[in-house]
Amino acid sequence: MVAIVVAVVYLVIVVSIVRAVRRRADTTQLERTVWTVAAVLFPLGAGAVWLLLGPHPLGLRIDHEHD
């Protein structure tokens, strides 16, 4: 029973992070991919960083798109 609850919580966290990442217009495709992988592998850590620091923690950008 505990395993089911943990699995459901894990899925809810991952889906929430991935949806939030994919909706952001100010992130590049590479950044979205990195955040998605981070959410799947480290849902609590990635979720905490995303919620506390946003998509560009400490102003870091992975890929700048030049005009």
The reported pTM is 0.63
Q: For 1-38, how does the pLDDT look when each residue is reduced to its tens digit (9 = 90+)? A: 999 999 998 888 888 888 888 888 888 888 888 888 98
Read off φ and ψ for residue 40, nearest 5 degrees. -75, -40
Contact call for residues 55 and 27 (beta carbons, < 8 A): yes
Contact call for residues 62 and 31 (beta carbons, < 8 A): yes
